[in-house]
C-alpha cells in the first residue's frame, strides 16, 4: 500500500503527515521536473504552495495535477487536497477559486465543524479546532454535490467532501510550527510564530486523528480493491 503525494515546493512538504499517515509515500516534485502521474497509487494527497490554482503558465504541472485529482475522484481513490491542493480539486471538479476578497488569512485560526461533519469518516468529533492558515485565494463555489464540512470566520469554505472518498481543506493540517515559521520568514509576515507554536498541542490533537482515519481508509479501500 502506497500514497502518491504531489509536492509543489520544497518548503511545503508533508510535515506532520510523514509520521501520522504510517504509509509509504511516493512524493512527486514537479517543480523539479518530475512528471505528475496519470493515476495515483492507493491514495492521493496534493499539498499546498504559493501558486494560484489557475497559474498554469508559471506552474506548468498544474493542469496534469488537476487531471490526476479529477481521475482520482472518478475512480474512488481516497484523496486529500490541502490548501492549493484543495483549490486545484475544486477547479478540477467544476467549482470556482478566486483571489480572496477578505485578504490574507494567516496564523493559528479557528475552524468549526458543520452538522454534516458529525457523520463524516474523517472529520467527526472535530467541533471547533485550531488550524494553521496561509492563503490569499478562496474556494468561492464548491463543486456540484460537495458536502461542506468545516467553516471559518474569514472564509466560509474551509473543508468539504466530494463523493465518498475525496476531501478538500483550505488550511494546513500538515504544517508544523517550524514549517509555518519558515513561511513567515520568507514572506516577512511578523508576530504570528509564537501563537502558532503555542497552538501545537491543539493542532496535533485535532488533525492527527484525521490523518490516521485517512490512512485507515486508504488501507481498507486497497484491501477491498
Q: Which domains does the chain have, with CATH numbers?
A: 3-224 (3.40.50.880)
Q: Do residues 80 and 44 touch, judged by C-beta distance below 8 A?
A: yes
pTM of the model: 0.97
User: Which tens digits make up the pLDDT trace of 174-215?
Assistant: 999 999 999 999 999 999 999 999 999 999 999 999 999 999
How many C-alpha atoms does 144 have within 13 Å on its Cβ side?
A: 1
Q: What is the pLDDT of residue 223?
A: 84
Q: Which pLDDT score is estimated for 225? A: 62
Q: What is the pLDDT of residue 221?
A: 87
Low-confidence ranges of the chain (pLDDT < 70): 225
SS3 113: strand
Q: Closest Cα to residue 95, out of 191, 170, 154, 26?
A: 170
Q: In DSSP terms, which residues pair with 128 in a beta bridge?
A: 112
**Distance in angstroms (rounded) separating the CA atoms of residues 136 and 106:** 9
- How far apart CA 74 and CA 57 sit, in angstroms, is 26
Amino acid at each position: 500500500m502506497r500514497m502518491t503525494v504531489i509536492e509543489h515546493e520544497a518548503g511545503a512538504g508533508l510535515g506532520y503527515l510523514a509520521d501520522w499517515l504510517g504509509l509509504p509515500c511516493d512524493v512527486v516534485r514537479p517543480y523539479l521536473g518530475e512528471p505528475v502521474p496519470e493515476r495515483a497509487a492507493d491514495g492521493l494527497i496534493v499539498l499546498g504552495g504559493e501558486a494560484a490554482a489557475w497559474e498554469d503558465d508559471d506552474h506548468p504541472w498544474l493542469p496534469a495535477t488537476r487531471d490526476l485529482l479529477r481521475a482520482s475522484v472518478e475512480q474512488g481513490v481516497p484523496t486529500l487536497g490541502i490548501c492549493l491542493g484543495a483549490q486545484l480539486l475544486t477547479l478540477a471538479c467544476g467549482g470556482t477559486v478566486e483571489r480572496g476578497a477578505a485578504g490574507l488569512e494567516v496564523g493559528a485560526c479557528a475552524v468549526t465543524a458543520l452538522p454534516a461533519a458529525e457523520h463524516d469518516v474523517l472529520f467527526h468529533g472535530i467541533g471547533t479546532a485550531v488550524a494553521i492558515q496561509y492563503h490569499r485565494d478562496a474556494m468561492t463555489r464548491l463543486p456540484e454535490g460537495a458536502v461542506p464540512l468545516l467553516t471559518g470566520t474569514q472564509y466560509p469554505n474551509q473543508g468539504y467532501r466530494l463523493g465518498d472518498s475525496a476531501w478538500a481543506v483550505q488550511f494546513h493540517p500538515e504544517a508544523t510550527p517550524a514549517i509555518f515559521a519558515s513561511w513567515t520568514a520568507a514572506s516577512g509576515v511578523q508576530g504570528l510564530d509564537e501563537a502558532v507554536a503555542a497552538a501545537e498541542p491543539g493542532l496535533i490533537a485535532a488533525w492527527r486523528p484525521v490523518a490516521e482515519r485517512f490512512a485507515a481508509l486508504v488501507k481498507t479501500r486497497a484491501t477491498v480493491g
